[in-house]
Amino acid sequence: MRWMTVRDRVESAGLALRGALHPRAEDGIAGAALVLLGFAGNIGWAAFAASPEAGDGAPDPLDRWSRRVIDALAASLSGTALYPFDGPPWHPFQHWAQRAEPVHPSPLGILIHPDWGLWHSYRGAIALAEWIDLPPPDPRPSPCDTCETRPCLSACPVGAFGAAGYDVGGCAAHIASVAGNDCMASGCAARRACPVGAAHRYGAAQAGFHMRAFRASRASSAALRGTPQR
**pLDDT tens readout for residues 54-89:** 999 999 999 999 999 999 999 999 999 999 999 899
Taking only the tens place, the pLDDT of each residue in 24-52 is: 999 999 899 999 999 999 999 999 999 99
The rounded distance, in Å, linking the Cα atoms of 18 and 38 is 6
Q: Given a cut of 60, is residue 229 above it in pLDDT? A: no
87 and 165 housed in the same domain: no
Q: Given a cut of 50, is residue 230 above it in pLDDT? A: no
Residues 6 or more apart in contact with residue 42 via CB below 8 angstroms:
200, 202, 203, 206
Domain carrying residue 97: 3-128
Name the pLDDT band for 221 (thresholds 50, 70, 90).
low
Taking only the tens place, the pLDDT of each residue in 82-135 is: 999 998 999 999 999 999 999 999 999 999 999 999 999 999 999 999 999 999
Name the pLDDT band for 220 (thresholds 50, 70, 90).
low
DSSP 230: -
The rounded distance, in Å, linking the Cα atoms of 89 and 106 is 25
CB 52 within 8 A of CB 37: no
pTM reported for the whole predicted model? 0.92
Structural domain ending residue among the three candidates 128, 161, 195: 128
Residue 135 located in a structural domain: no
123 and 153 housed in the same domain: no
114 and 15 housed in the same domain: yes
119 and 172 housed in the same domain: no
**Range with the poorest average pLDDT among 16-20, 28-32, 189-193, 223-227:** 223-227
> Which pLDDT score is estimated for 227?
39
Q: Is the dihedral of CA 59, 220, 38, 134 positive or negative?
A: negative
> Which pLDDT score is estimated for 125?
98
117 and 152 housed in the same domain: no
Indicate the SS3 state at residue 135: coil
102 and 188 housed in the same domain: no
The CA-based angle 57-61-66, given to 5 degrees, is: 155
95 and 155 housed in the same domain: no
> Which pLDDT score is estimated for 163?
84
